[in-house]
Structure 1
Amino acid sequence: MAGDTDNPRLWEGADLYVAPVGTTAPTDIVGPLDEAWLAAGLLSEDGASESRDQDSTDHYAWGGKLVRTTKSKHKRTIKVTCLEDNLVVFGLVNPGSTATTTGGVTTRTVKIPKTDPRGFLLELRDGEVTKRRILPKGEVTEVGEVTLSDSALQAYELTITILPAADDTLYIDITDDPQAAVPTTP
């Protein structure tokens, strides 16, 4: 059987960080993050999921022979569920809203959501292997139903739509995973 049983990844830990678009992103997996990167807090054990969507059109020659397929309207999203109701998550769920604290009492004024692109960084860990996925620009475009009950955790399921950079870059992965290494040529 081909393959290596050390290669499959089971991401045992993860953190989601959020920063203004243009914030200095890390260039390695061990260096500290710029102080503008703020943690979203605890994430659901369900992990994060990436979805892809695009239109494809098949083009045929006379007689029905497929000669080309073109692709358009490519879209990627990442879905993650935040378990905390902290200021970072509040800002992602309610962009354009405000919160103030006076005398230990916080007042949140929730307004109609505004466009609010941000930088996102998802840091994943599997034992000694770390991966930082940097989304230079994305936006929370969907928030799932929030349950308020005594039998289920209050959670915020966020769908982050990844917006491409001018050079079409969607995200950058930085990892020390040996299976991702590019072989060097002598």
Structure 2
Amino acid sequence: MAGNTANPRLWEGADLYVGPVGTTAPTDVDTALAAAWKAVGLLSEDGASETRDQDSTDHYAWGGILVKTTRSKHKRQIKITCLEDNLIVFGLVNPGSTAATTTGTTTRTVKVPTADPRAFLLELTDGGVKKRRLIPKGEVDEVAEVTLSDSELTAYELTITIYPAADKTLYIDITNDPQAVTP
């Protein structure tokens, strides 16, 4: 059997951090994050999922021979579920809304959502292997149905659309995973 059974990853732990676009990015997996990065709190055990979407067009020569495929409208998204209803999650779910606390009572005023691009950092661990996925610019563009119940946790499933940088970079993975080493 070819391969190495130590190579597959089962990410046992994860955190999602949010900061303003342009927040100082980490350059390794161990250095503490800049203060501007704020954790969203507990995440669902379902993990995160990445989706890709793009249009493709096949071009044929006379006689029906495929000669080229062009691609456009590439879109990448990450879906993750937050289990806390803290101020960070409130801001992601309700961009442009406000919250204020006076004498122990918090009032949240929910408004029609506004554009709110942010930087995101997904930090994953598998034993001693760590990965930090830096998304320099993205935006929560979908929030799934929220259940308020006495039998289910209230959860906020967020879909984050990733915007490419001028050089077309979508995200940067920083890892100490030995199988990721380049020759």
Using the size of structure 1 for normalisation, the TM-score is 0.98
Match of 1:2 in 2: 2
Post-superposition offset of 1:135: 0.0
Match of 1:171 in 2: 171
Per-residue CA shift, 1:45-92, capped at 9, x if unaligned?
Answer: 000000000001000000000000000000000000000000000000
Post-superposition offset of 1:154: 0.1
Letter in 1 for 2:52: R
Aligned counterparts, 1:65-76, within 5 A: 65-76=65-76
Supply the distance in 1 between the matched residues of 2:177 and 2:32 (Cα, whole angstroms).
Answer: 19
1:141 aligns with 2:141: yes
For the residue of structure 2 that corresponds to 1:89, the secondary structure is: helix
Match of 1:79 in 2: 79
Aligned counterparts, 1:24-103, within 5 A: 24-103=24-103
Post-superposition offset of 1:109: 0.2
Post-superposition offset of 1:5: 0.1
Per-residue CA shift, 1:95-151, capped at 9, x if unaligned?
Answer: 000000000000000000000000000000000000000000000000000000000
1:14 aligns with 2:10: no
Match of 1:162 in 2: 162
Aligned counterparts, 1:97-136, within 5 A: 97-136=97-136
Supply the distance in 1 between the matched residues of 2:28 and 2:176 (Cα, whole angstroms).
Answer: 9
Supply the distance in 1 between the matched residues of 2:101 and 2:45 (Cα, whole angstroms).
Answer: 31
For the residue of structure 1 that corresponds to 2:148, the secondary structure is: coil
Structure 1 spans left out of the alignment, 5+ residues? none
Structure 2 spans left out of the alignment, 5+ residues? none
Letter in 2 for 1:20: P
For the residue of structure 1 that corresponds to 2:182, the secondary structure is: coil
Supply the distance in 1 between the matched residues of 2:104 and 2:124 (Cα, whole angstroms).
Answer: 35
Q: Say how many residue pairs are matched.
A: 183
Q: Percent identity?
A: 79
Provide runs of 4+ in structure 1 moved above 3 Å: none
Supply the distance in 2 between the matched residues of 1:12 and 1:31 (Cα, whole angstroms).
Answer: 20
Letter in 2 for 1:161: T
Post-superposition offset of 1:29: 0.4
Using the size of structure 2 for normalisation, the TM-score is 1.00
